[in-house]
Structure 1
Amino acid sequence: MEPKTTEELGSCLVFPCVKELVAKNGELNSVPERYVSRNIDPFVLSNIDSLQHLPVIDLSKLLYEEVKGSELEKLDIACKEWGFFQLINHGVSMTLVEDMKKGAEELFNLSMEEKSKLWQKAGDMEGFGTMADVSQDEPSNWVHLFYIFTLPSHLRNSHLFPNLPLPFRENLEAYCIKIRELGIKVLVHIGKALGIEPNEIKDSLGEGGQSIRINYYPPCPQPESVLGLKAHTDASALTILVQNNEVEGLQIQKHGMWITIKPLPNAFILSLGDVMEVTLFYLFFTMHSYYLRDLKPL
């Protein structure tokens, strides 16, 4: 069964998941105090319709540019001025992507008996859970998450992968390989765009590791009072994000303003993370958050 009490996981706490909280209480009229964010940056709320647009990069065009052409120039600007971009014509099968979306939805709809096999354990950050920072006594994110380390395969958590339901487990195997291949291609082209050796970034990062985090945002009765994810930068080198639908929620901060990202159909959203800041100190790294715009689950 789901943990009934709060457990300490290093510097974090695991609370009963927000998805089950909503399900147990039916239609909530107000947000529990634990999740209320009283100091939400007003720009998060006031600039949700900003006219600034995230750069869009076409990978199919990058593959045919031997020298620095227009698409590499766009990628150069995206890395140096945004730290984010949308990637189209990325080459990953949309059938596989849709299978992953469907599988993720089914994963979160598992019975509590089945979910308990995938719950976070003490001292372990992988599995189902809802995280909050102990040290700062901050409100929890309005999100239910599933986190799992995927590559290299010999470092996988032995209690998670065998218990993943089929066909989700098989689709995850195929998806993580395709995403790794895509990530390597993108890193090579970032190197070209920045005028350094194409493989320099990839080689400096080594084999690296890959993890997948699936976030579920349940319907919220007071979306203006909570954040799906608080403002943060990613600790990884590269984040490849796909949304389950085209509902707007992701915001990035640019020049002190919060800009809402309008996801394009069949596109990935890519974010340069903290590891890239160490590797390439002159890139632009963007704070981002996830806000809830309406009562729909995301």
Structure 2
Amino acid sequence: MSCLQDWPEQIVRVQSLSDSSLPVIPGRYVKPPSERPSIESGADTEINIPLIDLGGLVGDDSLRATTMRHISDACKDWGFLQIVNHGISPDLMHQVREVWRQFFHLPIELKQVYANSPATYEGYGSRLGVEKGAILDWSDYFFLNYLPMSQKDHNKWPALPTSCRELIDKYCDQLVKLCGTLMKVFSINLGLGEKYLQNAFGGEDIGACLRANLYPKCPQPDLTLGISPHSDPGGMTLLLPDDHVTGLQVLSNAIYKSVEHRVIVNSVKERISLAFFYNPQSDLLIEAAKELMTADRPALYSPMTYNEYRLYIREKGLCGKSQMDSLKSLG
């Protein structure tokens, strides 16, 4: 694993490039023409991503059934949905997003204390993947572990602003509970016992982590991306972006989609987003549910642990869904 101990090149903070008011972005951030945002890509914001009111889950039988069906349809057709009445305090969401904004605007020497390495990615970072000479994304981030408790270390979380650690704890605790609710819904919708997916993830011994993303202002947003196309490697992602849209992604032998997505940047304002990853136990063997396999629909992927897959992703970097495709079973 020595290849993951250090970054292959000197790290440059994208925020510092943005603050320097460069008229053009450095060449290492310029994407190939086929990967750049296009005018048409702006139309994506007009697409009506399903909006689900989770309050329906505690309504009468008819409303609950309708809500469950809407969630199932969204997972199958989109792999991405917006949720409201999810139990997370709007005030808490605002506070935790703004405390991260304050962190990213601290003096660089205070942030550099938390500089990360590809060994764990935990801390203050500016690139994903360890390929030397890779074209980089226009973003900085802070990645931290929340669960399991053995990997949770407050000393690795920002000490400033002073409310940061407390807010992160409150926010992540509520998200873990929300994920538990959603896991039950997904299991039932797949025709499995309500605890099936949670148990398959390791029961109470799941993994959870948070990545706060900063997308600084960019003088040439048409040439680069905040995050390159990818599908998240974990089990479910809850996203809180600046525009308050919350999304998730799940994996289940491709019955539910794992959506390839990317992030664009703009020249007018920076953006902050928080991605919460709800993952299987790191050393647990992950494979398609046997109850969901048939002669006509065999397992699409060979069994592997989440740690093995995560390492594979870190070595390859963000490459759309090519990592997933390369792991498909040939038998």
Question: Do they fold alike, i.e. is TM over 0.5?
Answer: yes
**Could you tell me how far 1:154 is from its partner in structure 2?**
2.5
Please list the CA deviations of residues 196-248 of structure 1 after superposition, one character each: whole Å capped at 9, or x if unmatched.
2121111111121110001101110100000000000001111000012x2xx
Root-mean-square deviation over aligned CA pairs: 2.4
Query: Is contact 2:123-2:142 (8 Å) kept?
Result: yes
Query: Is contact 1:14-1:129 (8 Å) kept?
Result: no
Alignment match, 1:210: 208
**Amino acid aligned to 2:162:** L
Distance 1:65 1:291, change over 3 A: farther
Distance 1:217 1:190, change over 3 A: same
Please list the CA deviations of residues 72-93 of structure 1 after superposition, one character each: whole Å capped at 9, or x if unmatched.
1111111111111111111111
Q: Name whichever structure is richer in strand by fraction.
A: 1
Determine which of 27, 32, 46 is the counterpart of 1:33.
Answer: 27
**Could you tell me how far 1:284 is from its partner in structure 2?**
1.6
Distance 1:89 1:44, change over 3 A: farther
Cα distance in 2 for residues equivalent to 1:203 and 1:13: 41
Cα distance in 1 for residues equivalent to 2:67 and 2:74: 10
Cα distance in 2 for residues equivalent to 1:243 and 1:233: 17
Matched, 1:70 2:66: yes
Alignment match, 1:146: 142
Alignment match, 2:261: 288
Query: Is contact 1:87-1:270 (8 Å) kept?
Result: no
Determine which of 120, 130, 135 is the counterpart of 2:131.
Answer: 135
Correspondence 1:262-273 to 2 at 5 A = 265=244, 267-272=245-250
**Amino acid aligned to 1:15:** I
Q: Highest relative contact order (Cα 8 Å, sep 6+), 1 or 2? A: 1
Cα distance in 2 for residues equivalent to 1:199 and 1:12: 43
Cα distance in 2 for residues equivalent to 1:37 and 1:241: 25
Question: For structure 1, which segment, 122-131 or 217-226, has the greater mean C-alpha deviation from structure 2 after superposition?
Answer: 122-131
Determine which of 101, 119, 122 is the counterpart of 1:123.
Answer: 119
| Gaps in structure 1 of 5+ consecutive residues | 1-6, 247-264
* SS of residue matched to 1:215: strand
Cα distance in 2 for residues equivalent to 1:118 and 1:174: 21
**Could you tell me how far 1:156 is from its partner in structure 2?**
2.0
Cα distance in 1 for residues equivalent to 2:112 and 2:37: 39
Please list the CA deviations of residues 33-58 of structure 1 after superposition, one character each: whole Å capped at 9, or x if unmatched.
11110234467542321443111111
Query: Is contact 1:188-1:202 (8 Å) kept?
Result: yes
Distance 1:281 1:128, change over 3 A: same
